[in-house]
Structure 1
């Protein structure tokens, strides 16, 4: 025995067969609302290689402004194996038992028979699964002795990958990291650049890069100073760090510091940021200003991590 009733893209029918994958029996149904249980989640069950559960709102999903119906949803329970960008297309039906006639009211989607589940959308179903008025009718036999039973059938039809993506997280609370390093034996420098020892800031390893004789077009005119990721290969492709940095060369005689501040994006392909025109070489080497004392200078970096982008496959 069966009938079909289509209302607002939802198909309701009566079938004799019980749900293939899960039955959730609820005794003392009226006590759910009396005990302020607005949402009840079943135990999990497996179908199509994934774990699922049912989410029941006995007096309607208030977040969807539903008050006069029972809301019932299918929920993807374990997303650990479902990477970002991975999608599951699922055909499912949700059931309500007619206890006298031993058949089931089946509710399913009419237009989109296959529903899409992914990491950011793990719940699908029906805000208005059945009206409370119909559910409580004695003639319908859904609620007998304050007991009822819901069920689910779940069939995974297809799995796809939507490609690459990213998640940007801006920091609500920031921490300032400060690190000072002394560059020695500047006159004995054989390469164009001095690297500080790596240091940690915000769970990332950094280093300062000092070019005492300048870099690129500023060679011979300006001291160049940069902040860089110590090992860019540890940052996955597509991942980025947005940071506010202050670079500073400390005056060792008169207490005068020379600094510059800017916000930069750091990534595996853009792992070094700073200024090629940080300070005129004539000021840097001026003994009276005291930036270089006994062939050494002190540089300082302040770092505030403002945001992080994590790439996902």
Structure 2
């Protein structure tokens, strides 16, 4: 079924929804029941890709849902790129009477998040409630997995039409609310004064220096606690803490926003007439989209901490209404997470700098590293040969048994540059690059494992990467396809954005 441009323009919003999950879990019957109120007992595996459109009314506005269905068979997996492209909503379906279909939802979810829109809204669906006498996956287990992975959850029966309409309508409503919320956020960001420099990061880069997780935020707020002080943490050679006002800082006449401040600690140990100049950021985690709302302090300029000014921050970090709105994802199951990044800079400029912005190529440059006889590797790090991208030489380091937080549980992979290819070796430099590390899957159509980030690299620092790149158990399970003939293939895709040189 196709959709005309005229029909699409007559709706206020257009959403692409995809059905994913193993073959035989009832995806096609769910779609047929929702769109045509029909059900068939005959099992006919979907061939290729089919889609149906249906217009819903939400808040008095017509919303068009284009719902795509394809085979869940492994032979159909190579079409995932085109199938996932542009999808902003997904029903991830499993059969409550077949445990293996629930286990495989992890792989389907990984494929979805690697290929679909970063803000995709996911509904986990346990189908075939009509066979309750042979249920292998309980409601509690399905709901727990959905909460862990920031998905919504429902159980259905396409045969009896139980919760089928609710599943689709709830998903479309949540997609609609999410879009409206993001639109409002962007409008708010555009109208903010220069006293706050705000950006929303995409990807899963965590705060560089400190994370503060608050469970049962409502209890903290309702208990009348005016201020919560975090533990002391170290960053850039100094000690700091966060002050969080869950109901706003009343001393600064705020009662409808959360107030957060960065405070320097142990100042008695500093020299007389001390001053510390910093760039700092406060971050709020979005549990639904796995992004961070990043708020930069000090008008986007350096903040000057001294004896009479030991804290800087935001009297109105975020409105309580926006923070508590479920579709924003900042408060999830009454839990929230704040982060801090603190970068100390010299009081006065001591060196000249030259920042060269690099015109990015159309695609990232790729280096392939093939590692043979992987099972014979010890816990010692393995280093790739040098490889050159642009004017920069790079090197990969891999820890077969894990490193730091991934020790003995994960494969750890890091990237670092060691030569910018010009000037004296004594020159100081920094490189800002976006990069993606991928472990290839040897199976045809198998899902590759990849992580991506962006970072300022410097000559003297260790590499930057992923201590918990992937679980060792998943890596060594031959069924997953990452090791073939005891060979591991690692790809590094790098996009150099800028090179900053400090000239002596």
Using structure 2 for the length normalisation, give the TM-score.
0.31
Rg larger for: 1
Which has more helix, going by share of residues? 2
Which has more strand, going by share of residues? 1
Using structure 1 for the length normalisation, give the TM-score.
0.49
